Copies of this chain bind each other. A is one copy, B any other.
Amino acid sequence: MPTPKPQHRVRGSASGRPIMVLLDLLGRRMTLRILWELRDQRLTFRALQEAAETNPSVLNVRLKELREAHLVALADDGYGLTAHGKDLLQTFLPLNAWADGWARLWDGKRR
């Protein structure tokens, strides 16, 4: 379960193209969720575990990957996004509003 790095073969892509590497990384379970939970706060390992509703084993693996990817870093006051991580998160912030609109697709169909 190697951490995907640009220029290296990753699951689902022999090319190592950065976008493919990134899609592999973000497509692993809890990765997007972890980034999301850290979008506006720093959290300890355990606080992050609760926030993301996951367990320490998966969380630890994801955190290792995200740290190797320079998206997350651990400081005295807990885990938080790096400058790169914050930059990436900017891309995802509109997702929240988008998801709300998307959810309305089901509102009319449930009774």
A interface residues with partner B (beta carbon < 8 Å): 5-7, 11-14, 17-24, 26-33, 36, 52-54, 69-70, 84, 87-88, 91-92, 94-96, 98-100, 102-103, 105-106, 110
Contact = CB atoms under 8 A, between A and B. Distances in A.
Contact of A27 (B22, B27, B102, B106): B27
Contacts of A6: 99, 102-103, 105-106
28 contacts: A5-B106, A6-B99, A6-B103, A6-B106, A12-B30, A12-B52, A12-B54, A13-B53, A14-B53, A18-B102, A18-B103, A19-B36, A19-B99, A20-B33, A21-B103, A22-B95, A23-B33, A26-B27, A27-B27, A27-B28, A27-B30, A27-B33, A28-B29, A69-B102, A70-B105, A84-B105, A88-B98, A91-B94
